[in-house]
Structure 1
């Protein structure tokens, strides 16, 4: 508890409630943890602290779902994950050099962009070309470091195609797991990963498991069409929240 002494009771309460809600959405959709949680947590903590705490939780969660990822993920997730590893450190360096107020503004814009990206016309099931896949991975890496949000480029890449929802969900979970680990490693490399952030992330992780489990139960009870509608609603909610903060 001494390591958590640097956080106020209000900060911890915000982190608890926001984490539980974001984890439920993540279990239901396969994404949304960072998109929904970073803008809220960055208001209670420093942006770097929020990003690293979320990456710790997301990385631990990905480890618990290795079997799902290996069984159902598309091979493109490997390529995107490798590129995420390469681009995460530059993104975190950019965040660390950005004033907190500007960082919060830019993080809100990232959350807003996710909604508009998924509105692009639906494509077929075929995997996009090397250029699209490469740009998706690099952009996701930079956004992982800067905002703990690899989702804006990755979600449209999978959800925007006519592939089974389980394939889309497992692929996104795999990429996001690698992104989270890259974010934590980059934070340690730059020396901005404090022990109290690690303790906070680990302390919140049981709530992540609980919310994700309840969301996964709901995932099994919806069909593909309804699931895609829910994905759109989640991104719309994140977009509205981002707009409110920008205004």
Structure 2
């Protein structure tokens, strides 16, 4: 189906449903869940492109929410991410398949660690924190199709309310992902086969996202942060366990 084995498509559909739910609840995490699982069934570069296209498609459903709730910090972070994305793409192409698969799983794990590790009284000024967020958002977006881990620590540890933090991350995804996908296709790292698979998976992503949005309105700020951290940790642990077994 679309050039992929039926088993790979079935795995992708289940992962897309779970990833959509996570994204609807947290505002990020679709690729963090989808790519590490999908890249066990298809090539890492193909999994990354499917994740990027899926992020863009689901982002189109949130334009109203983004305009209403997003913080202005999303603008400089998105611009920096676009500038740094080619570096991550170069790393993805330069590394061998096995190394790429391992490091994609480690990116997911690193996001979990950065969110939950206690920093004590260490507080980074806002502008340097935004600069680092923009750099890692772009690098992880190009290398692993996961812009989320780069920006999640900034928004989850910041003072914004969950609604604004969530909309800001969605805004960055909406700007960065179509450019990333276009560069992938232009450099022949991926092609229409991956775009077609993402379109095939979109109904599952959309259903999961709808369920996640419904769950978001029923949790407190503290529980939202705990839930998103647990999602990151679970996705990373699952990807590493399946990869190393």
- TM tier, shorter chain? over 0.9
| Contact 1:112–1:242 (CA under 8 A) maintained in structure 2 | no
Match of 1:143 in 2: 140
Matched, 1:98 2:105: no
Change (3 A) 1:243 1:204: closer
Q: Within 5 A, what are the aligned runs for 1:213-232?
A: 213-232=210-229
Q: Does 1:52 align with 2:42?
A: no
- Which residue is equivalent to 1:62? 59
Q: Is the 8 A contact 2:138 2:150 kept in 1?
A: no
What is the SS of the residue equivalent to 2:40? Answer: helix
Unaligned runs of 5+ in 2: none
TM-score under structure 1 normalisation? 0.92
Distance in 1 between the 2:132 and 2:214 partners? 33
SS of residue in 1 equivalent to 2:158: coil
CA contact (8 A) 1:114 1:153 kept: yes
- Measured in 1, the distance between the counterparts of 2:174 and 2:202 equals 14
4+ residue runs over 3 A deviation: 120-124
The correspondence of residues 161-172 of structure 1 with structure 2, limited to 5 A, is: 161-172=158-169
Gaps of 5+ in 1: none
Contact (CA 8 Å) 2:74, 2:169: kept in 1 or not? yes
Question: What TM-score results when the alignment is normalised by the length of structure 2?
Answer: 0.93
- Post-superposition Cα deviations, 1:19-67, rounded to whole Å, max 9, x if no partner, equal 1111011111111111111110000110010000111111011111111
Is the 8 Å Cα contact of residues 51 and 198 (structure 2) preserved in structure 1? yes
Task: Find the counterpart in structure 1 of residue 152 from structure 2.
Answer: 155
